[in-house]
Amino acid sequence: MILYIPVEVKNRELDAKILLASVAIERGIKVVIGKKNDLNNFIRFMPRGAYYGIGVFQNFKNFYSKLKKRKFSIFVCEEEGLITYKQDMYIDMRFSLETLKFVDRVYTWGQHNKNIISRKFPSSKSKFKVTGNPRFDILNNDLDDFYNEEILYIRNKYQKFFLVCISFSSVNNFNLNINYINTLIEKKTIRNENSKKKFTEYQYLKYKTFNSYIELIEQIAKENQDISIVIRPHPSENLKVYKDLAINNENIFVETQFNVHPWIKESIGICHHYCTTSLEALSMDIPRFSFRPFKNTKCEYEFPFNCSYCFEDLNEFKNNINKFIKGSHYNKSRSKFKNYTKYAKNLYSSSSSKEIVDDIYLHLTKNNNNCKFFYANIIFSIIYYGFIKIKNLIFFRKNNSYLKHKFLKINEAEIKKSLMSFGVSNNVRITNIFNEIMILEKK
């Protein structure tokens, strides 16, 4: 049995996907893991198996269709299904019925997410399974052990810091010159005028909020000179505006390295705006604040804000943050939000990876999906991969700087370190077959 695991954003996904891989390896499943774009090209001539996708977008239809013709099984863990656009807008932008017909299973963050897609696709209801996401499994393990090197680095550099988790990639994208809405239309993420209209309205709100956050960060930094303000931008954002803030303020810093988890854990508290970090901090019981100067109830759910101290006025937010930093009591502990497991099933437990692997294993066993590697598979894949690379260079089809920004290189040592944290490194053989595409298998 073979499980192919693509990784799109390294800092966000890699740790959790190695955890998933470690569970799969223990079940006797061979894992092939690598950068999404490279793995998707490489897989064309590889033996059939299970493909662990990241979404059910319209533009995935052709790729999934080709995998299905080769008798692959397709499983999707909906990465953006936790903090997302509201109901119809979410479905319009992230789900395609034409793509869904090629998918064997969609793993949802919680019952809330499952209910939304089940109402829209009742005939496919049996495909949807509530498991949570492996990213939260890691939060419920010993982070001091798993992120020991990262935590040591953070503690040495910042004794006391307040973390601002920024998520404004749609209005401050890495590629500043692109028309973000047109890009979504080209990718078939926006597929009708209603979605375009709603997203355009939401863009206006996000742009105003983005500008308000720049003002807010600088004011908090100036009034709290005795602590550091660490900005953690979204992986798809342009860093210039934040680096300019850091240049002009000695206690503002911009950090993009590592997964966000050790940064949240070591902070005295976080500030977010409609971001997954709201529930990640809740899972770790780290104080949460949100500045929400503008509302759009057509696009946003309330639960990410409700589990945080949320303020609409800049001065009110700033005054409360200043009091908190100086030691005032914080009383939104995670014990008050036990019902939030409907949004993220494994918010307070480590159950997702095992549930997903058990389900994949059962499916592959029933369908006798058991293929072996042959050297010819790897050789043909390398030839095809090289052809695609040359083709893209000739026609400039890839924005290499953006892809490198989202996905730094991975190496065998990183994977070994993670596997060691999960207690399986001694039982796993790692083979780098080509360009950071790794085979992980039981020795």
Q: 122-132 pLDDT, tens per residue? A: 999 999 999 99
Q: Mean pLDDT check: name the lowest of 23-27, 39-43, 204-208, 345-349.
A: 39-43
Q: How far apart, in whole angstroms, are the C-alpha atoms of residue 426 and residue 390?
A: 38
Q: How many domains does the chain have?
A: 2
Instruction: Inform me whether the pLDDT recorded for 371 exceeds 70.
Output: no
Same domain, 128 and 151: no
What does the mean pLDDT of the chain come to? 87
Instruction: Inform me whether the pLDDT recorded for 92 exceeds 70.
Output: yes
Same domain, 40 and 84: yes
pTM for this predicted structure: 0.89
Same domain, 237 and 180: yes
pLDDT band at 370 (very low <50, low <70, confident <90, very high): low
What is the per-residue pLDDT for 387? 59
Span 246-255, pLDDT tens digits: 999 999 999 9
Same domain, 82 and 222: no
Q: Which strands form 437-442's sheet, in the order they lie side by side?
A: 128-130, 105-108, 73-77, 50-53, 2-7, 30-35, 437-442, 428-434
Same domain, 155 and 127: no
Q: How far apart, in whole angstroms, are the C-alpha atoms of residue 427 and residue 442?
A: 6
CATH number of domain containing 227: 3.40.50.2000
Domain boundary among 322, 339, 356: 339
Same domain, 42 and 64: yes
Domain that holds residue 298: 143-339
Closest CA to 29 of 365, 395, 374: 365
Same domain, 26 and 80: yes
Instruction: Inform me whether the pLDDT recorded for 395 exceeds 50.
Output: no
Same domain, 326 and 213: yes
pLDDT band at 279 (very low <50, low <70, confident <90, very high): very high
Of these ranges, 85-89, 168-172, 280-284, 435-439, the one predicted with the greatest mean pLDDT is 280-284
Span 295-342, pLDDT tens digits: 888 888 999 999 999 999 999 998 999 889 888 778 788 889 999 999
Percent of the chain with pLDDT over 90: 51
Domain boundary among 310, 339, 368: 339
- Our measurement of the distance from residue 353's CA atom to the centroid of its chain's CA atoms, rounded to an integer in Å, reads 15
Instruction: Inform me whether the pLDDT recorded for 79 exceeds 90.
Output: no
Span 4-61, pLDDT tens digits: 999 988 888 899 999 999 999 999 999 999 988 888 888 887 888 999 999 998 889 9
Closest CA to 321 of 217, 241, 215, 209: 217
pLDDT (average), residues 412-431: 84
CATH number of domain containing 353: 3.40.50
Q: How far apart, in whole angstroms, are the C-alpha atoms of residue 191 and residue 209?
A: 26
> DSSP string of 410-442?
--HHHHHHHHHHTT-GGGEEEEEEETTEEEEEE
Instruction: Inform me whether the pLDDT recorded for 408 exceeds 90.
Output: no
